[in-house]
Amino acid sequence: MAQQFQMPKLGLTMEEGTILQWLVEDETEVAAGQAVLIIETDKVETEVEASGSGILKQFGEVDETYPCGALIGWFLEHGETPPEPQNPASGGSQRSSSPDSQRAQTTQPEKSPALNDQTGRILASPSAKRLARELGIDLATISGSGPRGRIVNSDVELAAANPPTAAHASTKNGSQLLASFAARNLADLIGIELDAIEPAGPDRRITRLDVIQHIQGLIAPAPQEPPTPELAALSQTPSEVIPMTGMRGTIARRMHKSLQEMAQLTITMEVEMTRVVEDREKRKSESEPPGYTDYVIAATAAALHEHPYVNSQMTEEGLAVLPVAHVGMAVALEQGLIVPVIRNTYSLDLGALAEETKRLAVAAREGRLTLDELEGGTFAVTALGMYDVDGFTPVINPPNTAILGVGRLRETAVWENGSAVGVTTLTLSFSWDHRAFDGAPAALFLQTVKQQLEGWGSETS
């Protein structure tokens, strides 16, 4: 009996996946658990295993994006044909089982605006984006021929082969009306007169975005809530506009949501690191010593063990106190911040913890992290000391209730027996959700981290 093969949901935050490569040929016999394709999420590239056994009939197209749960293939018995899909998956194309329908798709591609209604971002396959960057083509000037108006490689190649030489001109109320090549193509495709569209730009030139917004205005239902206030107008002509998409867009949405939905506060505490510095110097003679952040993570794991209310998440039922601490370690990449997770952190000694943080950091920078290494963190540690930052306000990574920031090591003086003595210190910045626990428990937790570091070697190892 035929079984559906759906785009899997590989993490709590995963909403869609892009097929990068099928690892087996179409209509190949596969076994459940066998790796059959590679997908890309907003966080990572990962292999996907077959959810069933049989002859795999592939419907998902390479470089197309599908929502979790969308049909991307069938597992069939020998001689069996896939059922006719009644509701084709939105967000991605499906291969037709009929040569006639494939021919129809080839000869009459359906074009639609290449914008996502919810985010406003341009819909384009990853390879189309790469090709557009290489050729220096603005994706906003291209009409997509893929599903939901998604831009694919052939659209970029067509735009490169037929660049618009100038804006098309017509007249509106006796005056010249300017429209871009992409705007005219899209308006002709939808059947809209350009003179019905009001351009938004100061040069009074109708763009493809103007056409799309006009279409959305015609079909959009009456707003039920007051519209979101518009951003202030630019005071200067920007030298560059960086799209808030991909990892950057995900970070922006999650951090904004975090600050909107939590009652976040931050306290700081200065920690003397003399014993940690001495311990690290001793370890240098044996092997590569742990980093200072490794010491902080180890101390944090011990404090989470002592104060379990910090190792928690907010739920509709209340504060869920989690039994095992999996500490996330923030790693800065060129395109944004990523937080791989150190599993069972409290059970690791300092040496094993340092090896794991080094492995995860290298994997993050080389793009080799798996989804399992990014999911399930119950607390996070983020450091800006390497940028000469003393203290800062870290933003909690939901659904966790707290995060710890690590500042730089610095030399300072303290008074001992009436004289100044030089010591090495750093500042810890602890942000927590005041809905989960109050200031006094937050201070007690941070105080425990401080005691672990200042007393290093007496009870810790």
CATH code for the domain in which residue 443 is found: 3.30.559.10
In a domain, 163, yes or no: no
Domain stop point among 79, 107, 135: 107
**Can you give the pLDDT at residue 44?**
74
d(CA 7, CA 20): 13
**Can you give the pLDDT at residue 120?**
47
- Which residue ranges in the chain fall short of pLDDT 50? 86-120, 165-169, 460-461
In a domain, 445, yes or no: yes
In a domain, 237, yes or no: no
**Can you give the pLDDT at residue 251?**
77
pLDDT tens digits for range 23-54 = 999 999 999 999 999 888 766 778 889 999 99
**Can you give the pLDDT at residue 244?**
75
Instruction: Provide the residue range defining the domain that includes 409.
Output: 257-454
Domain stop point among 73, 107, 141: 107
pLDDT tens digits for range 146-164 = 655 678 777 887 877 776 5
In a domain, 249, yes or no: no
**Can you give the pLDDT at residue 98?**
41
In a domain, 205, yes or no: no
d(CA 313, CA 329): 18
Asked whether the whole model's pTM tops 0.75, one would answer no
Closest CA to 112 of 267, 216, 227, 257: 216
In a domain, 419, yes or no: yes
Instruction: Give the phi and the psi of residue 402 in degrees, each rounded to 5.
Output: -160, 165
d(CA 169, CA 157): 25
Residue with tokens 């990449």: 333
d(CA 295, CA 284): 15
In a domain, 143, yes or no: no
Q: Please count the structural domains in the chain.
A: 2
Number of Cβ within 10 Å of residue 12's Cβ equals 9
Residue with tokens 């490794």: 294
Strands 35-40 and 45-49: what pairing?
A: antiparallel
Domain stop point among 74, 107, 140: 107
What single DSSP character describes residue 115?
Answer: B
Number of Cβ within 10 Å of residue 362's Cβ equals 12
